[in-house]
Structure 1
């Protein structure tokens, strides 16, 4: 299929391809040979340029938080218009990812470059990063990308995880004495943030009494009572 191998397929060309696959499917005729011949070609326009259907993604609200931290090749819906939404089944047959379906690996594999300023993330995006850590077996890439980025909202502005503390009632009373510690803004993130203590700790956030006590003892050296 020389046409499908091209990177200059028009919107009409792509709609015709999808319409043909839909026709074959609805007539109970196998489109497998046709799909096999075109699915690897870089003819589908995405937000990252022309890409093959395999590995491209149909954007939906499920992907919004992921799109803030990853460079994912979403189908260019501005180019194709709403009509492309009528061909989700056909796009999926071609290899396009439809729906998030716990696809954390795709997000992690496409994390934005370290040179990109990942900072001041929305609450939804931070919680999404923590979910990635929770569900992904190799956290090193995520930790490396976010540990020193000023992405967490605290009572002292946006701070890096390695500078931040998760409030704990066990040592919270000490904050009445030592008030120079950036606490994660739980009003901003909601109560669910405390469900990710292990993941926050992986990023460098102080969540344990022992670590907090060390920081408080260092601070105490500068106090006189």
Structure 2
């Protein structure tokens, strides 16, 4: 192997070379053959031999692209059935995501458009360091599919709560989604997070004016949005409190 394609391992290179060797052959200088004395010539070796983390990353990436190019060329020459090849890749759980190894189907390539979604949805994001960007572009279906249990949706930011409203809107009132949200402490009122029914008033300073554009969605999860309905709700709760007080006094 020519020196220009060889590595001399130093501590910072150990992990990256070990990971890369799973995918490609990495030519590491055999220290058992040369002995520790080889390290005395690092200055001379650096003219061609690779030592740095950056060089290791570049080498592994370059070799992977080369291997991919060769496999495509070979496949074309012998007319390999690519549908079977692609399906085997699609169906396997091999990409490392934020939720472990998953199938490529349904996994998401991260960019800033997805920044809020992880608060409410356990989406399997492929490591954003891969450098491929796929925008959010209104992918509410993905967010809903991986929706977290309502018990994990406390103390949401303004953006996350508004994203929930968008998901309800997109789902056209999905009973499964609506039922999972009803009665849970999702929304910030003027006394903290409360469940989505009762008399606490939603904190419009926290959610800003945009919250008022989701009256229909709020109503679906149990929020009182009409004045007449609020009066009825207040009267019902008042009667409950009054009867409880009378019962306690009688006891």
Normalising by the residue count of structure 2, what TM-score does the alignment of the two structures yield? 0.61
Residues 1:51 and 2:102 are matched in the alignment: yes
| Cα distance in 2 for residues equivalent to 1:69 and 1:196 | 18
2:158 to 123, 127, 134: 123
1:203 to 221, 225, 235: 221
Determine helix, strand or coil for the equivalent of 1:162: coil
| Cα distance in 2 for residues equivalent to 1:196 and 1:21 | 52
The alignment of Structure 1 onto Structure 2 pairs a total of residues equal to: 180
Deviation at 1:134, TM superposition (A): 0.8
| Cα distance in 2 for residues equivalent to 1:137 and 1:11 | 46
Residues 1:147 and 2:178 are matched in the alignment: no
Deviation at 1:20, TM superposition (A): 5.5
2:143 to 93, 104, 107: 107
Deviation at 1:219, TM superposition (A): 5.3
Write 1 or 2 for the structure with the bigger share of helix: 2
| Cα distance in 1 for residues equivalent to 2:178 and 2:64 | 40
Deviation at 1:190, TM superposition (A): 0.8
Deviation at 1:199, TM superposition (A): 0.1
1:66 to 104, 117, 121: 117
Larger radius of gyration: 2
Deviations 1:165-203 (A, max 9, x none): xxxxxxxxxxxxxxxx41101111110100000000001
Gaps of 5+ in 2: 1-17, 25-60, 243-251
Gaps of 5+ in 1: 1-8, 89-97, 164-180
Determine helix, strand or coil for the equivalent of 1:131: helix
CA gap of 1:133–1:213, structure 2 versus 1, over 3 A, is same
| Cα distance in 2 for residues equivalent to 1:201 and 1:47 | 34
Deviation at 1:37, TM superposition (A): 4.1
| Cα distance in 2 for residues equivalent to 1:17 and 1:44 | 19
Deviations 1:116-142 (A, max 9, x none): 432121111110000011111352222
1:42 to 82, 85, 93: 93
RMSD over aligned Cα atoms:
3.3
Q: Which residue of 2 aligns with 1:167?
A: none
Q: Which residue of 1 aligns with 2:245?
A: none
- The answer to whether the Cα contact below 8 Å between 1:152 and 1:158 also exists between their aligned partners in 2 is yes
- The answer to whether the Cα contact below 8 Å between 1:108 and 1:141 also exists between their aligned partners in 2 is no
CA gap of 1:11–1:101, structure 2 versus 1, over 3 A, is farther
Consecutive aligned runs of 4 or more in structure 1 exceeding 4 Å deviation = 9-12, 14-18, 20-24, 29-32, 219-223
The residue correspondences of 1:89-108 to structure 2 (distance < 5 A) are: 98-108=134-144
